[in-house]
Structure 1
């Protein structure tokens, strides 16, 4: 039994007329009659009573119709699902992200994508830039939100934001009342810093900015994530230098101030492997390129 034969039978039973069924199926009446005859031969039972003037189902045809209708419906659903998967409308998108992406870039990009293709399941994993590079190479994530520079010829990058460096201060700090703070004003401060192992490029660049301002930061505490750094600043363990956007915190505990120096901004970029041909990834990148974001 072939699917086209089952479909021909269902449409003919629904129409109760071979001519109308043939028109609906876009075939000739002889072609439709041959398909139904072939189906009856494969089943070894008659499905239509041809002794009557009006087309009618036999008892076997009545029983067969319900199952054939379900078969056709399910086949149509499977075909539609396959087409949606090919268009990137079904499947899974695995996203790695640095923690600073959680405050703006990640929700902005994913909310737009989810609105466009709600049937795609999105899996998100917080990862440092270095871990994202390994995960992209091992096909454990499809796309990453990370901080360049990246030296990986098999990756493609697309910048999504340029972010400034801010100083984080306990709310009672003498510098908290200023609109801008100079790096040189922080020379005698204790610092809470990103762990270098979590992101050596970020760590070393910030230390380089401090040295260019005439001092080496006195690091008294390190943390792997920005929320912990903000909490330690609130606890008055030191000040910090954080890439915007900064965590949402109570201004009675922590304040963020822009720096007076004109420093280079930090890129936030999407990264993906040129070897990843996932339709879902392609759909995500197309959505981002169109700017389908709230």
Structure 2
């Protein structure tokens, strides 16, 4: 059974008049009559009682109408969904993010996206920058919130913020009373740092800053995410250096202090593959600041 024939039958039944139905369908009356006749032939039963002066359904036509109306409605909905998916108004947006993006960049960007395209489902995955670069190249995510550099030739990026390095101190630490802390003040302290395995560039840069200040940090514990680092600092296992924005914590447990040194800031960027032609990705890029 062809969908156009089912639609012709439903409109004719709803209008109760061949002329009005033909006008609604933008066809001639003879064409509409042939379509209804073709449907009846395919089904092997009459759908309209042609012995009466007014157009009326047969018992078979009444039974068939309910299902045919539902079929046409579902086909229209499916066609509309396909068009909306093509425009990027439906579908799934897959986003990877580094932990430090959860405190500002991720909620800020995705709340704006959800407001603009509420019917798109957003799937988020916590991933290191290195894992995101691989996932973007393998088309396992559409976009990533990460820390540059992004050196792969097929990847593109937009900088969302430039973030400072902060000292994370136990709330009872003597340095917690200061408004700003210098790196040299942290010489001799035990450190809790990002795992080098999870982010070698972040780890190596922080260690490099410490060495430039005249000491090598005594790293007693490493962690892959910033929440764990903050928890370990709160447990008084050591101090740390964290990229802002920092986790929300009770200042009695952990305090964050800006550094005296004027250090290079860390970029937070949105990255994507130039080969990814996903319509929902295009919508994300539309609302991402350039």
Q: What TM-score, normalized to structure 2?
A: 0.94
Q: Distance in 2 between matches of 1:214 and 1:281?
A: 46
- Identify the residue that residue 133 of structure 2 maps to in structure 1: 133
Residues 1:46 and 2:61 are matched in the alignment: no
- Identify the residue that residue 190 of structure 1 maps to in structure 2: 190
Of the structure 1 ranges 256-265 and 84-93, higher mean CA displacement relative to structure 2 is found in 84-93
Over aligned residue pairs, what C-alpha RMSD do you find? 1.7
Q: CA deviation at 1:147?
A: 0.5
Q: Distance in 2 between matches of 1:189 and 1:289?
A: 40
Q: Distance in 2 between matches of 1:56 and 1:69?
A: 16
Structure 2: any 5+ residue segments left out of the alignment?
none
Q: Distance in 2 between matches of 1:188 and 1:283?
A: 50
Listed as ranges, the matches of 1:214-229 within 5 Å are: 214-229=214-229
Give the conservation status (yes or no) of the 8 Å contact 2:160–2:289: no
Residues 1:231 and 2:231 are matched in the alignment: yes
Paired residue secondary structure (1:250): coil
Q: Distance in 2 between matches of 1:10 and 1:213?
A: 80
Q: Distance in 2 between matches of 1:108 and 1:158?
A: 15
Q: CA deviation at 1:252?
A: 0.3
Q: CA deviation at 1:16?
A: 0.7
Q: CA deviation at 1:221?
A: 1.8
Q: Distance in 1 between matches of 2:253 and 2:74?
A: 59
Q: CA deviation at 1:18?
A: 1.2
Residues 1:11 and 2:1 are matched in the alignment: no
Q: Distance in 1 between matches of 2:262 and 2:58?
A: 86
Q: Distance in 2 between matches of 1:235 and 1:60?
A: 77
Q: CA deviation at 1:289?
A: 4.5
Q: Distance in 2 between matches of 1:30 and 1:289?
A: 57
- Identify the residue that residue 121 of structure 2 maps to in structure 1: 121
Q: Which stretches of structure 1, 4 residues or longer, exceed 6 Å deviation after superposition?
A: none
Q: What TM-score, normalized to structure 1?
A: 0.93
Paired residue secondary structure (2:193): strand
Q: Distance in 2 between matches of 1:111 and 1:137?
A: 26
- Identify the residue that residue 90 of structure 1 maps to in structure 2: 90
Q: Distance in 2 between matches of 1:83 and 1:18?
A: 31
The superposition leaves residues 23-50 of structure 1 with CA deviations (integer Å, 9 ceiling, x where unpaired) of 2112222222222222223223322222
Listed as ranges, the matches of 1:97-116 within 5 Å are: 97-116=97-116
Paired residue secondary structure (2:31): helix
Q: Distance in 1 between matches of 2:116 and 2:244?
A: 28
Structure 1: any 5+ residue segments left out of the alignment?
none
